[in-house]
Structure 1
């Protein structure tokens, strides 16, 4: 037949059924052998090992490497590197079950690579992290849950007592690092046995539930290799390679693998006694053992069940659904026309049908083109394998092993099925005509949804056609709805036509939201805040819903209108962040598919008053919602009563503030300036007046009957010459600030909670009889230049900090002022400057620390009820220091003393001087430096004179029997010290009562230097 018209032949595969995977990203074929293919769990990638150095740039190690090829994009990645990119070499890749990691062998080690982060983990280590000492550590495989890796290794140091020097099966726990020896089996004690493992162990396979491992092992060196299953929980080992009657295989068995449901094991075997009629003169066969019934089935047969006649079959692998097995064999009788090269086959276990998949359509068989090591894709529609064949794809001229993927789906040259994916269908006919001059044309058909194109390849005898369908054309088809296009190809003019049928099936298209992600809405409004604009090409009926942080504050209608449930108030935001930005997620559903979009609705500020000023008069129980951006006078003749909503005055200047009060509600001032006037009583039911960034100038704050004036967290309020009347409590919240200057008449109480701060922006004076309370972590700080804080009246107390050490601050405590530590943590004074007091410094059951202040007092210092006061930079005392029972005062540096009474307390001082006397009344005085002041011992406790102390002047005297002077640390040099008058100078016995001196052994006090006869030494 010459110059015949091209025809489409039925059945068989098409020329595009094969894809060569082992190429560079640009399609360049590998310059070295590529082997050991492995699919990713989602089927989109293939890992393999290759000796090629041209697959990626910079491959310079001259060793086999592990690569991952993306089947969609063609991108290829070198994986066998450490985290910094150093090439390690590697082979035998295997993906983790979730596809995020890849295990591979390097010969001496097993590594796991994190494909997202690049992190590399060595798996072949002992539980303590010791590297394997063997020469061969290979064949990694993940457990089904991805938490373990099994491998075999000849290392002897991975577990204790492994001394066999042959390969064993190990399982490494990737979480705990624990490692377990799986082989040997209980059969290791046969003739010649006794070691841990006497034979050669073959690669393992996990059961689908991960509880068992199947492997091949020769339990006695040189004996037959058999297949075993090891239960990882119980340790029980079961022989698999035996006949249905229980006869053990008479020859070796290898490469076992579990079926997907775990009920069967496939392996290849040289045994002749496992299946009747399977004898093939020591040629390996593929068999399947049913673990439930014990039956053994021969798989390596032709479609009629005739066993292979020559050449062994190896490496069985189940399809993902367990209905098929792939393997390779060099037998010549499994399908017609094959030669003695290795061929990859797929056997249907139900029908017996067998297909050679490593062949190319009707092309002749080639010798020396062997194929091997098949693996199924996760969906079972493809098989990857390695092959020497050069005719599977055009342009294969590298004469070495490549990795190929074969599409197993049946392809039609005259029909196609498309779903709504916007892709084109391309089909290439099988050879159907001889070379010659041929043409092909397209006859358009009315009503078709796509566009048909066709070309003819005269040299190869192929017609290629493609059908492009746009999403816009097919999208209106509902889910499952079909549309058939009939297409006509005109071949060689009018000599022949070919009908093409394309069936188009719609899928459910998700709704598309076209409205934006932001919206603005003016406060106090009631209209639509946001409209959800959405369309769905195949489902016009849509429903709308809301979720997200602030969704509870909104409603959404059946048409997609989003509205506030109650009108928003800019001055009192209700969104979660209180910043007037309301975050919601809108969702649109067509009943099956859902589209969502995050939307931020911003409430904007408007002027809440109509006149912008004037006088607001509130009488009786009249209330108001808000006043904004006004300059106003407020006059309240009754209680300002709010019911369920807060009154807000914001961004306003308030003059002549009248008497203003709250009942069971909240009045908020936001960004206001209040000049003069007063805030009246917050009455019995405990309302709240809050301040947020408010400037008060000469304003009276007054709260009674449990009411509260507070500062909002994050605010910065400025108080200038403010009067806080008795009964008022100003609560400064965490992270807020109170900026004070001028005179603060504190007749009430300002309390700083949870790290709140008061900042001095100028000199400040506190008068009256009120209180500033510092809670733990709160502080009074200085801002910028040096300022003075005068405590002319009232009290500063608590457990916070005064001063920050960055800017000096003068603290002046007047005659009527009190600085008192009475909190659970110390009250610290860290002013960096002098502290002057004419009032009361007191620590009652608490600690008061003067960290760096130079302290001058003409008032009273008292420590009582286990209280402590620590002067870390000295004390000039013009008043009285009282130290009561269980309390202590410490002075680092100089104490210039006017008068001190130790009433069962402790005074510790470095240098003691001054004109006053220290009266030790049942207390303890400790001097560690110079003593130039009088000490009077009137109690039963001690005066401790430190090891380096010296008396330069003054008199130590006793007035009560039993007083004690302790010379701490004196040694034999005390005599010389007295001679030079550098230590104790004068002791007097004022009342002729005994004074006891405790001296170090060998010390002497000469009579000439004042030791009266009744001193007991």
Structure 2
């Protein structure tokens, strides 16, 4: 849900939106939400979140209840890049804080998961035998059920035999505590180049990532960053970022993303002297070009219905910026336009691409647009959260919870139906 990549030196996190419908719903079932969306528009509700003013369309209006930190103390340093499980119970994030769990003395950015139901915070990026990691960890994702967490780390003590001295991609199984390295080649050979930007399917099995390594597959001789897919269940790593004819690219590819059901992967890659949006379909194993924006591609996302991207265009006099979302049916484009001099890089899409959330640079609001129930040309969003300091946002699959980073660098969970706001980055 970048490619505004969250590294240990980057403050801004991504705008991420997991789908507002359950993974089992088919596209035709989304229309049944129309009546609910109309009810949601019945009342408008405003609240203040630590300097963050939010204006939301809500079905009910209850007194705001901002809880500083139920059962815990907020982190003593900033947190970043949150993601949230399907029902909003589990929130994963990176943090520089040292007081979220006992004995955190490694002085590195770590990955944590907060169980909002049991009010517990758990260290995810843990070294072998329970030791602290010896390197920074970041770029977090969590599976829909909250069991798996993927992240990038430069630590060398998360798994046995990590001697490459490179940033690698890992996946933690929270049910067993086991961490595996994802950015590996055949037989588990470790990468000879750095890996980055991991994205995980909803079930935690398929993970796409970028890597400069040349030994993850045979015949990788182009010497540039490529996009790879690792399927955990089969142990197979494959390169996705080829041309439509199956040839190696001569320039780097970036911004990998994978659909919730793992059937579609997208990335930004070269075509001629400019960038294009590439798409790989698991069913056909074919690579195609979805778009070639004339003035560049920004953040890339993908739903089960197809890719979505931020792009820039020009008529020779003015520049125009938009988000283009392809959903079900795939021929139907869902477009959010913005005619100013800023790429709409902070956004994400819902399960089937029927909803898009984005940060509006003019109003400083995070807006949610619904293709099925609202006029796309309307300035009236389904919901909006506003602040120039709002760093990142994640929307739970059930559509009930929003997670973001406030002005103090704390992760907050907002249940918009009850208007309750809780700090999540706590011990």
Structure 1 residues 175, 185: CA separation in 2 closer, same or farther (over 3 Å shift)?
Answer: same
Which residue is 1:345 aligned to?
324
Q: Write the distance in 2 (CA, Å) between the matches of 1:76 and 1:151.
A: 32
Structure 1 residues 232, 87: CA separation in 2 closer, same or farther (over 3 Å shift)?
Answer: same
Structure 1 residues 187, 345: CA separation in 2 closer, same or farther (over 3 Å shift)?
Answer: farther
The alpha carbon displacement at 1:288 in A equals 0.7
Give matches, 1:41-60, under 5 Å: 42=20, 56-57=49-50
Answer yes or no: is 1:197 the counterpart of 2:191: yes
Contact residue 83 and residue 120 of structure 1 kept, 8 A: no
The alpha carbon displacement at 1:201 in A equals 1.2
Which residue is 2:157 aligned to?
157
Aligned residue among 15, 31, 51 for 1:37? 15
Give SS of 2:310's match.
strand
The alpha carbon displacement at 1:261 in A equals 3.9
Structure 1 residues 340, 211: CA separation in 2 closer, same or farther (over 3 Å shift)?
Answer: same
The alpha carbon displacement at 1:353 in A equals 5.0
Which residue is 1:8 aligned to?
none
Q: Write the distance in 2 (CA, Å) between the matches of 1:100 and 1:429.
A: 32
Structure 1 residues 112, 358: CA separation in 2 closer, same or farther (over 3 Å shift)?
Answer: farther
The alpha carbon displacement at 1:358 in A equals 4.0
Answer yes or no: is 1:181 the counterpart of 2:181: yes
Answer yes or no: is 1:210 the counterpart of 2:189: no
Which residue is 2:127 aligned to?
126
Structure 1 residues 345, 182: CA separation in 2 closer, same or farther (over 3 Å shift)?
Answer: same
Give matches, 1:674-685, under 5 Å: none
The alpha carbon displacement at 1:253 in A equals 1.5
Aligned residue among 287, 293, 304 for 2:284? 293
Q: Write the distance in 1 (CA, Å) between the matches of 2:187 and 2:242.
A: 15
Contact residue 308 and residue 332 of structure 1 kept, 8 A: no
Which residue is 1:308 aligned to?
293
Structure 2 unaligned residues grouped into runs of 5+: 1-10, 22-35, 37-46, 97-108, 216-221, 381-427
Which residue is 2:385 aligned to?
none
Answer yes or no: is 1:332 the counterpart of 2:314: yes
Q: Write the distance in 1 (CA, Å) between the matches of 2:207 and 2:287.
A: 19
Contact residue 286 and residue 314 of structure 1 kept, 8 A: no
Give matches, 1:139-288, under 5 Å: 139-186=139-186, 196-220=190-214, 223-270=223-270, 272=271, 279=272, 281=273, 283-288=274-279
Q: Write the distance in 2 (CA, Å) between the matches of 1:429 and 1:215.
A: 35
Structure 1 residues 106, 183: CA separation in 2 closer, same or farther (over 3 Å shift)?
Answer: same
Structure 1 residues 308, 382: CA separation in 2 closer, same or farther (over 3 Å shift)?
Answer: same
Which residue is 1:404 aligned to?
367
* Residues 395-432 of structure 1: CA deviation (Å, up to 9, x unaligned): x4xxxx5422233346479xxxxxxxxxxxxxx999xx
Q: Write the distance in 2 (CA, Å) between the matches of 1:76 and 1:379.
A: 33
RMSD: 3.9
The alpha carbon displacement at 1:157 in A equals 1.6
* Residues 508-547 of structure 1: CA deviation (Å, up to 9, x unaligned): xxxxxxxxxxxxxxxxxxxxxxxxxxxxxxxxxxxxxxxx
Which residue is 1:383 aligned to?
356
* Residues 93-152 of structure 1: CA deviation (Å, up to 9, x unaligned): 110133201111125111111223431111111242222221x31111113432111100
Structure 1 residues 381, 71: CA separation in 2 closer, same or farther (over 3 Å shift)?
Answer: farther
Q: Write the distance in 2 (CA, Å) between the matches of 1:78 and 1:35.
A: 23
Structure 1 residues 379, 115: CA separation in 2 closer, same or farther (over 3 Å shift)?
Answer: farther
Structure 1 residues 230, 102: CA separation in 2 closer, same or farther (over 3 Å shift)?
Answer: same
Give matches, 1:580-659, under 5 Å: none
Give SS of 1:317's match.
strand
Q: Write the distance in 1 (CA, Å) between the matches of 2:166 and 2:71.
A: 29
Q: Write the distance in 2 (CA, Å) between the matches of 1:98 and 1:79.
A: 22
Contact residue 82 and residue 120 of structure 1 kept, 8 A: no
Structure 1 residues 405, 349: CA separation in 2 closer, same or farther (over 3 Å shift)?
Answer: closer
Contact residue 255 and residue 316 of structure 1 kept, 8 A: yes
Contact residue 36 and residue 386 of structure 1 kept, 8 A: no
Structure 1 residues 218, 95: CA separation in 2 closer, same or farther (over 3 Å shift)?
Answer: same
Which residue is 1:24 aligned to?
none
Contact residue 149 and residue 172 of structure 1 kept, 8 A: yes
Q: Write the distance in 2 (CA, Å) between the matches of 1:143 and 1:410.
A: 28
Structure 1 residues 291, 87: CA separation in 2 closer, same or farther (over 3 Å shift)?
Answer: same
The alpha carbon displacement at 1:244 in A equals 4.6
The alpha carbon displacement at 1:169 in A equals 0.5
Which residue is 2:30 aligned to?
none
The alpha carbon displacement at 1:267 in A equals 1.3
Give matches, 1:84-103, under 5 Å: 84-103=73-92
* Residues 693-750 of structure 1: CA deviation (Å, up to 9, x unaligned): xxxxxxxxxxxxxxxxxxxxxxxxxxxxxxxxxxxxxxxxxxxxxxxxxxxxxxxxxx
Give SS of 1:371's match.
coil
Q: Write the distance in 2 (CA, Å) between the matches of 1:78 and 1:139.
A: 27
Give matches, 1:738-777, under 5 Å: none
* Residues 621-663 of structure 1: CA deviation (Å, up to 9, x unaligned): xxxxxxxxxxxxxxxxxxxxxxxxxxxxxxxxxxxxxxxxxxx
Which residue is 1:958 aligned to?
none
Which residue is 2:407 aligned to?
none
Contact residue 154 and residue 166 of structure 2 kept, 8 A: yes
Contact residue 137 and residue 152 of structure 1 kept, 8 A: yes
Structure 1 residues 68, 165: CA separation in 2 closer, same or farther (over 3 Å shift)?
Answer: farther
Q: Write the distance in 1 (CA, Å) between the matches of 2:118 and 2:56.
A: 18
Contact residue 226 and residue 253 of structure 1 kept, 8 A: yes
Give SS of 1:128's match.
helix
Q: Write the distance in 1 (CA, Å) between the matches of 2:243 and 2:331.
A: 21
Bigger radius of gyration, 1 or 2? Answer: 1
Q: Write the distance in 1 (CA, Å) between the matches of 2:133 and 2:358.
A: 31
Structure 1 residues 210, 148: CA separation in 2 closer, same or farther (over 3 Å shift)?
Answer: closer
Give matches, 1:74-113, under 5 Å: 83-106=72-95, 108-113=109-114
The alpha carbon displacement at 1:289 in A equals 1.2
Structure 1 residues 429, 323: CA separation in 2 closer, same or farther (over 3 Å shift)?
Answer: closer
The alpha carbon displacement at 1:81 in A equals 9.5
Contact residue 326 and residue 344 of structure 1 kept, 8 A: yes
Structure 1 residues 156, 381: CA separation in 2 closer, same or farther (over 3 Å shift)?
Answer: same
Structure 1 residues 292, 87: CA separation in 2 closer, same or farther (over 3 Å shift)?
Answer: same
Number of aligned residue pairs: 324
Higher relative contact order (CA 8 A, sep 6+): 2
Q: Write the distance in 2 (CA, Å) between the matches of 1:199 and 1:412.
A: 47
Give SS of 1:161's match.
coil
Contact residue 279 and residue 307 of structure 2 kept, 8 A: no
Contact residue 151 and residue 198 of structure 2 kept, 8 A: yes
Q: Write the distance in 1 (CA, Å) between the matches of 2:318 and 2:367.
A: 20
Contact residue 311 and residue 343 of structure 2 kept, 8 A: no
Q: Write the distance in 2 (CA, Å) between the matches of 1:91 and 1:139.
A: 9
